[in-house]
Amino acid sequence: MTSMPILMIGLNHKVAPVEVRERLAFGAERIPFVLKELLSDETIEINEVVLLSTCNRTEIYLCTCNSPVSEKKIQEFFASHAKLPVENLQHLVYVLRGEDAVEHLMQVSAGLDSLVLGENEILGQVRSAAETAQVAGATGPILSALFRYAIQAGKRARAETEIGRGDISVASVVVELAQQALGPLENRTVLLIGAGKISSITARALIKAGLRCIMIANRTYERAEKLAQNLHGTAVHFDALNETLKQADIVICSTGAPHIVLHADAVEKAQKARDGRPLLVADLAVPRDADPEITSIPGVQLANIDDLGIVVKTSHPVTRSIYQKVEVIIQQEFDSFHQWYGARGCVPIIQALHSKAEIIYQAEVEKTLRRLGSLTPHQEQLVQAMGKAIVGKLLHEPTVHLRELSADEDPSTYLKLVQDLYGIQ
């Protein structure tokens, strides 16, 4: 598999802090343009490309025949987008090739590489990345198959093991932090800044833990109203955010804004009006929504997505047995992709074999029909069907063997033998 032209370049929560990752976060609306930009760069020689961008990772998967040049160009692309010197990113970016890139994507899809082990969101994000690339015309047979097998690995991992059945999630960690900071949550108030999926999931986790008073602020007031109805909360206008902060004990930030939406001066003013009561601000967005300076305000605890990761690692260690079960599934799907890739080289031979057989079949059937003379239409159909059946049965076993050739083996000898036996050029 070392000759497989797959290259992956990226960074994630394990190697890069949130202040770097947020510089390389790509919104869903921008990804198609990025894919087309990369494909149109003739100096990179990219045949296929998929961009996976989440809160915890940005990874570009390439099918390229010029790996060294592509690697250099993608690192320059990252640096340009992040507005950082290439040298500042080189020690953070990881590069994987061939089978290593394949295995990594399957680990990502299965949840083994997530901030919270087995979290379900990543599987949907992998699927969405593949679909976006397909719609943009950026994928071909190799990356389409790779992501298909990776998604299958993720689905099987969650269906066949305990990895996705635990109670640990980003939302549950927020609840844990809130209880540590504030104690029982029954009489507490939460302010959601942003009315998306993450806000909804986190709010429901807080409700399950006893919290009842919820306020939702969103740029689009109608979205805030809709979520408020579902959560039995109250929608507030975004321009009233600073005033609303005074009532909150917990603030959950999760918008898609590319800039700060919760400023330190607003929190500081609100904190003075709250008589110094403790306030927890959980910033779940990448790029970050909350000003990092908030952490210096007395009585206010600010936790970003990386802080939640630290809590997970220290408070919720994962058993090795779960890893091992998922790794078995990954190996199985890896082997399936491996076999598929190896058989790709046989496709032209299979097509040529069947094309030649079709030509011979047509010629011989026509010759036979002429010799038989006058036949009814039904009798002619029977002769044609018999000829087609004979060809199909004769080619079945060679076709099956060609398709099942392992990528671990060199198929050239077998292919040459088939070409010689059947006179295929």
End-to-end Cα, the chain, rounded Å: 26
CATH fold of 6-166+319-343 reads Beta Polymerase; domain 2 (3.30.460)
Q: How far apart are CA 85 and CA 87, in angstroms?
A: 5
Binding-site residue numbers are: 54-57, 114, 119-121, 125, 194-199
- The reported pLDDT for the residue numbered 6 is 94
- The reported pLDDT for the residue numbered 58 is 96
Q: How far apart are CA 402 and CA 284, in angstroms?
A: 50
User: Annotated active-site positions, please?
Assistant: 55
Cβ count near 237 (within 10 Å): 13
> Which CATH class name applies to 170-315?
alpha beta
The dihedral over CA atoms of 407, 1, 118, 327, expressed in degrees to the nearest 10, equals 60
- The reported pLDDT for the residue numbered 38 is 92
Binding-site residue numbers for NADP(+) are: 194-199
Domain borders along the chain are 6-166+319-343, 170-315, 345-422
Binding-site residue numbers for substrate are: 54-57, 114, 119-121, 125
- Block mean pLDDT (10 aa), the chain, length 425: 80 93 92 93 88 95 86 92 90 93 96 84 94 96 96 94 73 90 92 92 92 92 93 92 91 92 93 89 94 94 90 69 90 91 74 83 88 88 88 82 61 73 78
Which residues lie closer than 8 Å to 4 by C-beta, 6 or more apart? 98, 99, 102, 142, 341
Residue 215 β-bridge partners? 191, 234
- The reported pLDDT for the residue numbered 406 is 52
The answer to whether the beta carbons of residues 190 and 214 sit under 8 Å apart is yes
- The reported pLDDT for the residue numbered 20 is 93
The answer to whether the beta carbons of residues 53 and 25 sit under 8 Å apart is yes
